[in-house]
Amino acid sequence: MNRLLVCSPLRLEARAVRRGIGDDGDVRQTGYGPRKSAAQAAKLRPGSFGMLAIAGTGGGLSADLSPGDLVVAALVSGAGPAISCPSAPLLAGELRRAGLRARAGQIVTVDHLVHGAERARLAAAGALVADMESAQLLAAAADRPAIVVRAVSDTPQRPLLSPAGLAGGIAALRSLRLAAPALARWAAAAGPRRIVLAGPRSFCAGVERAIEIVERALDMHGAPVYVRKQIVHNSHVVASLERRGVIFVDELSEVPDGAVVVFSAHGVSPAVRDEAARRGLDTVDATCPLVSKVHVEARRFAADGYLVALIGHAGHEEVEGTLGEAPGSAVLVQNGADVASLRPDDPAKVAYLMQTTLSADEAGGIVGELLERFPAARGPGSDDICYATTNRQLAVRAVAAESDLVLVAGSANSSNSRRLVETAERAGQPAYLIDGPEDIELGWLAGVSTIGLTAGASAPPAVVHEIVAALRGLGPVEVSERVVTTENIRFGLPKEVRQ
């Protein structure tokens, strides 16, 4: 039996869910309060359903909730040991993509309506919503995938027994109806599966070094420390450093005189360094040494009179920094058309360099076209595409070969993460870039038994753990790892942050 069973305590709640879910799930009205819920849970026969969802309304505890908001339980507390629902971020993300206001968090089950100070006390303990049934009903799930979603009917500002209470109840029932199709998609995504982790994945030596530089600058100088551009292209890293007192700016003009400013791992052009020096800013350079190596090559070729074709992507900070090392001598080349439009003064004096995070296949194609037009073109002394980019691409190709679907953890502005998606797609598998589990569309998972999972060089390892944990909420997961090589590279820190 693989059907979804939705338990809704009240008749109006069950009706709203039934209207939204149609034939994609069985909806049962289970009755109001903990006693009836426990009795209904005891009656549910093992094997009479596949997945269990509990859907109803609830009292909002947190002051930032509004009637109609949806809370998906990551944790249900209140009656016996707390029960976790690991797939909560998946459903919360799906509901947001459906245009609903939804978040994952703690739901507390109580045995009476809560008011005033008690609401505040439960909110202070971390709960977002209170209900009177979820903990008892969840017990029926045993080891089956289970989820709880509550639509907020009342809030501390708009209590149940107030003139606004009726409108809040109507908003909650409407949200329940609109949320029901996502419950069906959640159930369709459930099932046992394998996850194959790519190795290596996640942080590279340049990213670890850049983060350590900022952390040391904070320890040495105190907050705020300014960072020009994102230190690395990852939203989790940026948010975590912001919480510690880092201020990220786009330009040095936003940095006050006398402040400490860190240059990001992607590097800066000499013009930016000159501006910082002119302003007397206290700078620390977190440019990855492998990016600095490309800068040195650009300066050397330009000094020797070469036209430097920089293979890369327009607008990327690393590209801007490298072009700035050889103004007037370096041009960006993104494709074959750019190669065809090159007009060097001396066709025998063309050199090419690369952005460090390119796809090896894509860059190789452009180099081929360059050499066809300029057979004497000179390349870098050693590969510009860095070891971390290369290793992660080899690893994702290996896992793609044994997966139905590949997930790449990384932010949308992360070049190396995006190249991992392209590499997996070239290997013939659907692949998606996700910042975290909430970005996984449930429709991707239906019918998928093996997921390849990797992370870009700027994505923290913790995100991979969160993704695996969320997928475990959809059924038993067997995790294995495909390691194509191991890495033991470390870069030294700049003298400004060495103790």
CB of residue 114 to ligand SF4, shortest distance in Å: 50
Separation between Cα atoms, residue 388 and residue 139, nearest integer Å: 46
Under the binding rule (CB under 6 A), the answer on residue 417 touching ligand SF4 is no
**Contact pick of 29, 269, 411, 416 for ligand SF4 (by CB under 6 A):** 416
Stretch that binds ligand SF4, among 11-19, 175-183, 190-198, 286-294 (CB under 6 A): 286-294
Separation between Cα atoms, residue 413 and residue 54, nearest integer Å: 37
Q: How far is CA 278 from CA 265, 281, 315, 498, in A?
A: 22, 8, 26, 24
DSSP string covering 331-379: EEE-SHHHHHT---SSTT-EEEEE-TT--HHHHHHHHHHHHHH-TT-B-
**Contact pick of 56, 145, 206, 437 for ligand SF4 (by CB under 6 A):** 206
Are 90 and 438 spatial neighbours (Cβ–Cβ below 8 Å)?
Answer: yes
**Contact pick of 204, 302, 363, 455 for ligand SF4 (by CB under 6 A):** 204
Task: State the catalytic residues.
Answer: 318
Pick between residue 405 and residue 409 the one whose CB is nearest to ligand SF4.
409
Under the binding rule (CB under 6 A), the answer on residue 8 touching ligand SF4 is no
| Residue 305 CB-half CA count within 13 A | 5
Pick between residue 159 and residue 312 the one whose CB is nearest to ligand SF4.
312
CB of residue 283 to ligand SF4, shortest distance in Å: 19
Residue numbers 339-368 binding ligand SF4 by CB under 6 A:
356-357
- Kindly state the tokens that stand for 485: 């090589």
Under the binding rule (CB under 6 A), the answer on residue 291 touching ligand SF4 is yes
Pick between residue 367 and residue 457 the one whose CB is nearest to ligand SF4.
457
CB of residue 150 to ligand SF4, shortest distance in Å: 43
Under the binding rule (CB under 6 A), the answer on residue 207 touching ligand SF4 is yes
- Kindly state the tokens that stand for 473: 């909420």
Angle at 406 between CA 401 and CA 411, to 5 degrees: 140
**Contact pick of 27, 54, 176, 290 for ligand SF4 (by CB under 6 A):** 290
Separation between Cα atoms, residue 375 and residue 364, nearest integer Å: 15
Are 282 and 258 spatial neighbours (Cβ–Cβ below 8 Å)?
Answer: yes
Q: Name the helix (H) or strand (E) containing 432.
A: strand 431-434
Separation between Cα atoms, residue 32 and residue 110, nearest integer Å: 12
CB of residue 255 to ligand SF4, shortest distance in Å: 23
Q: How far is CA 325 from CA 252, 298, 299, 331, in A?
A: 18, 6, 6, 11
Residue numbers 441-460 binding ligand SF4 by CB under 6 A:
457
Residue numbers 91-130 binding ligand SF4 by CB under 6 A:
none
Under the binding rule (CB under 6 A), the answer on residue 146 touching ligand SF4 is no
Stretch that binds ligand SF4, among 150-158, 192-200, 201-209, 440-448 (CB under 6 A): 201-209
Query: 368-397 mask for ligand SF4 (x: CB under 6 A)?
Result: ------------------x-xx--------
Q: The dihedral of CA 306, 311, 317, 318: what is its sign?
A: negative
CB of residue 293 to ligand SF4, shortest distance in Å: 9
Applying CB under 6 A, the residues found at the interface with ligand SF4 are 204-207, 265, 288, 290-291, 356-357, 386, 388-389, 416, 457
